[in-house]
Amino acid sequence: MKPRFRLYRRHNGGRYYIHDDVTGKQESLHTSNRQAAVRLLHAKNEAVLQPAMNLQIAQVYLQHGNPALSRRTWQHVMEQIISTKTGPTRERWEFAIRDKSFDSIRDRELIKT
């Protein structure tokens, strides 16, 4: 199968870009380092070929970067949001978060949603 993305370098500035052969869009990789650009190119092409595996790879990277993330639940997120609010806004958030519609996700881990 032909790769979806192609790598090229613009002469002015020396930055690497990718070209999407399906949409025709071009996107900067924000690097002048060829090795980094090639790695990003391979990651983009791999993402198209194996989307289910990419989710698992992303979860591994997230867990490695922040081990506490694997134990964090949506209830924790809701509590953190409330802690940033004050006054009537805080009261509205507290009321909204107690709603039964959130019960299905309260104890779910962030990384699994």
Strands (DSSP E) found in the chain: 5-9, 16-20, 26-28
* Residue ranges of domains in the chain, CATH in brackets: 1-49 (3.30.160), 51-113 (no CATH)
Instruction: Give dist(CA 108, CA 63) in Å, integer.
Output: 16
Condensed to tens digits (0 to 9), the pLDDT of residues 55-95 reads 788 778 877 887 787 788 999 999 999 999 999 999 999 99
In the sheet where 5-9 sits, what is the strand order? 5-9, 16-20, 26-28
Condensed to tens digits (0 to 9), the pLDDT of residues 24-49 reads 999 999 999 999 999 999 989 988 88
**Whether pTM exceeds 0.75:** no
pLDDT for 17 beyond 90: yes
Angle at 62 between CA 27 and CA 64, to 5 degrees: 125
pLDDT of residue 61: 81
Among 50, 37, 36, smallest CA distance to 27 is for: 37
pLDDT of residue 75: 93
pLDDT of residue 96: 94
